[in-house]
Every structure is written in structure tokens, then in C-alpha cells.
Amino acid sequence: MLNGKHIILGITGGIAVYKSAELVRLLKKQGARVSVVMTEGAKKFVTPLTFATLSGEPVYDSLWLNRVGADSNIAHINLSREADAMLIAPCTANVMAKIAHGVSDDLLSNLVLARDRGACPLAIAPAMNVQMWDNPATQRNLAHIIQDGIHIFGPAHGEQACGEIGAGRMIEPTEIVSLLPKLFTSQSLAGKRVLITAGPTFEAIDPVRGITNHSSGKMGYALAHAAQCAGASVTLISGKTALPTPYGVTRIDVQSADDMLAACQNHVAGQDIFIAVAAVADWKVAHVANQKIKKAHTDDVLSLDFVQTPDILATIANLPNAPYCVGFAAESEHVIEYAQAKRIKKNIPLIIANQGPATFGSEYNQVSLVSAEGVKTLPNMRKDVLAQQLIQAIAEQFRSTQK
């Protein structure tokens, strides 16, 4: 989502400036072009040379002087017209006050005021002492900033450089990078609540063994992130994965299919959309051994009795006042045929079908959207990009049911 985007990164004078260096590196890794604008306060903590080296571009640091090594007239106009978005991280209480009241006494504040708000969205990542953050003046300024349509990333709660503990820490660079796509995403799910399942389930055989599958959870987590970027309040019910929780998403960890069903039933009330992405085991052993099953002889044959696990998607879809339900079908053959049969059996409007063995653990996926209207096959693409497209498609289908 950030590949090819031109981001203005404003850096203001706070100890969290050290995080901004990593932020530039991560943005560049995502394929973004980064133009750094530093205030005089920021240069007291880190030199412009650091950011020029990391960004690969000269740094803007004065309203009155051109960038060193580059020609730039009327920087506060030209630069803002070239950029796709503007981010201030860290953003001090002083700069928040300037933004709230339209003060423009340096290059960064002039850029904020002169930007085309429709073409260059702005986000800030506040960073300050807890008492400064909680101060009524800062909170009034925050309310003004939000009312003006500016995005707020954070702050986090924790130990601060001064030794105090509370809200005011700048959120981590990885979290900021995960939130930036929101600036380029249609808020098609604003105000909506979305419940998503992801990852594999694990069905115990004994205390140390069990049945699971190769699902990495990447598709479900990408959808949770995409839904959050589209403005939704997202709850993610996840089997065991090695993935970090998408920022702003509520995550509930489960193990078995029974655990996942119980969690879905506990959280489905008030949800607008339910997306069942998890690779749920279809079978579990009828009787779980209390102790580890020992291998007594090399020629022993172990026999296990299996029973079916609960059908989570069908259970949720058939609830009174059920949310709009979307299923995933990971098949190894007859993908479309089996997906359409699954959709009809479970009584849901949309199934997203794919070749399970081809996508488990991969960064890429190719899917088909299967509904009563027909089949739409999407090209193979990265799961994070695919998730953005799927969320927009799901949002359109959901809106059509609300008319």
C-alpha cells in the first residue's frame, strides 16, 4: 500500500526522534519515497545528516533556506503539492497546539497549513510527558485536530524517558507503518464492527500431541489489518500463529475448534460482518488421552476414533440477527464447485475460494469470489494487497444488503 507513495515526514523536538530514524528505514523498505522536514528542536536531538543518509534525499530544515544540495523555491507550497501524505512523528505538544490553531512560524507548520487537504492527508504521532498529554489544553487541541480530519496515531501507554509512567509515548515505528495505509484507504467500513477468525486450530490427541494444519494465519491477519484501515472496529479470534497482532485490532487466542466457536459466540453480538478465514480442523479425536500415549513396541498400531468438529461458520450464519457472513474455502481440487456447494449448505452470501496447499504459509494468494451471482477470479497477488481488495468487495456486498 505504501509502494511508490511520497511521504513528507515531519520530525519535531522530542526524545522520540530516535524512533524516527527507524521509521524512515521502514518506509523506504515499503517502497515509499520519504522527504524529511525537521524543526530546530528536532536537530538538537539528531542531525539532518542522519535522515538525509537514511532517506537518500536532502533534508528540509528551514522556511528561509533551500535544502542543502537541492533547488527548491517556496518549499512549503511545492513540497506539499508533490506529496501523497504527510506524517509528523514525533509530534510534540507545541506542534499539536500550532496545528490546532493554524500557527505557521516555521517550515513544518507552514506545510501543514498550506497542504491540499483533499490530496495530502495528514497524520500525527503524539509524543510527550503524561502530564502534558493529559493537560486540558492538549486535550482541547486534540479535539480540534480530530475535528479537522487529521489522523491520530497513538500515543502509547508506558514508561517514559523522564521516568514517569502513563500515556504519551510515541507508538513504535512498525505500528505507524501499519497504520499509514489508512490514509489511502476508503473508509468503507467506518463505524462497523467486524469479527474475523484466522490461523489453524489444534485438536489434542494427548497432552503433548495433536492434529493441526499448515495455515500460517497470514490471510486472516491481513484481512483484519485491512478492515481496521477501512475504519472498522475489528476483533480477531486466532489459532496459534507467529504473527504480531495488527495495531488497533483486538485479538483473542484460542486453540481448538470448540474454543474458537465459543469465542465467536461470545463476541458475535453487535457485529456487522463475520469473516471466517481460520483453517478449522474438520475432525477431532473422540477421547483425548489424559497422559502421553506411549509407544510400547515398534510394531504397535495406534487406532483413534474421530468425530467431527463444530461447524463455526454455519452456526454463526444461522443465529437470529446474524451478521453478514463470509467464508473461506481452502480446497485441493474442484475448488469452485466445492466452494459453491459449501456456500449453499452454510446459507451464506459469499465464499472466497482458493487452493489451500498452494497458499498455506505463502506471502501470495489467488482467490475466487463465489456468490449466487457467479464467480469472480482475482489474479495472484500479495496477501496484504489482496486483503485490501477483498475488504472493499465485502464492504460493497454488505452495503447492498442494507438497502
**Region label for 332, one of left (φ > 0), alpha (ψ between -120 and 50) or beta (otherwise):** alpha
**What pLDDT is recorded for position 72?**
52
Does residue 206 contact residue 293 with C-beta atoms inside 8 Å?
A: yes
pLDDT tens figures, 338-390 = 889 989 999 899 999 887 767 777 788 889 999 888 899 999 998 888 999 99
**What pLDDT is recorded for position 384?**
87
Does residue 177 contact residue 218 with C-beta atoms inside 8 Å?
A: no
* Strands (E) located in 133-192: 151-152, 156-159, 165-169
**What pLDDT is recorded for position 138?**
96
pLDDT at 397 over 80: yes
What whole-number distance in Å separates Cα of residue 109 and Cα of residue 103?
7
What whole-number distance in Å separates Cα of residue 349 and Cα of residue 195?
16
Higher pLDDT, 57 or 164: 57
Q: Which CATH architecture has domain 193-401?
A: 3-Layer(aba) Sandwich (3.40)
What whole-number distance in Å separates Cα of residue 278 and Cα of residue 80?
43
- SS3 of 177, please? helix
Q: Name the burial class of residue 356, with classes exposed (0-12), middle (13-18) and buried (19+) by CB atoms within 10 angstroms of its CB.
A: middle
Task: Indicate the pTM of the whole model.
Answer: 0.85
What whole-number distance in Å separates Cα of residue 77 and Cα of residue 67?
14
Residue 229 is a catalytic residue: no
Q: Where are the domains of the chain?
A: 6-184, 193-401
The model's confidence at residue 63, banded by pLDDT at 50, 70 and 90, is: confident
pLDDT tens figures, 259-317 = 999 999 999 999 999 999 999 999 999 999 899 888 776 667 778 899 999 999 999 99
All 3 cell numbers of residue 220? 486472516
| Average pLDDT over all residues of the chain | 90
Nearest to 216 by CA among 235, 243, 197, 195: 243
What whole-number distance in Å separates Cα of residue 93 and Cα of residue 98?
9
pLDDT (mean) for 2-17:
93
**What pLDDT is recorded for position 69?**
45
pLDDT tens figures, 374-383 = 899 999 998 8
> Residue 181 is inside which H or E element, if any?
none
pLDDT at 3 over 80: yes
Q: What number of other Cβ atoms are within 10 A of residue 226's Cβ?
A: 29
Does residue 196 contact residue 227 with C-beta atoms inside 8 Å?
A: yes
Does residue 217 contact residue 199 with C-beta atoms inside 8 Å?
A: yes
Domains 6-184 and 193-401 share a fold: yes
**What pLDDT is recorded for position 400?**
86
What whole-number distance in Å separates Cα of residue 326 and Cα of residue 350?
5
**What pLDDT is recorded for position 304?**
87
CATH of region 6-184, choose from 3.30.830.10, 2.102.10.10, 3.40.50.300, 3.40.50.1950: 3.40.50.1950
pLDDT (mean) for 68-86:
70
pLDDT tens figures, 225-252 = 999 999 999 999 999 999 999 999 999 9
Does residue 211 contact residue 288 with C-beta atoms inside 8 Å?
A: no
Sequence-distant contacts of 315-319: CB under 8 A, at least 24 apart: 315/261, 315/264, 315/265, 316/264, 316/265, 316/268, 316/274, 316/276, 317/274, 317/346, 317/347, 317/348, 318/347, 319/268
pLDDT at 70 over 60: no
**What pLDDT is recorded for position 68?**
44
Residue of 120, 162, 229, 325 with catalytic role: 162
Residue reference for cell 522530542: 14
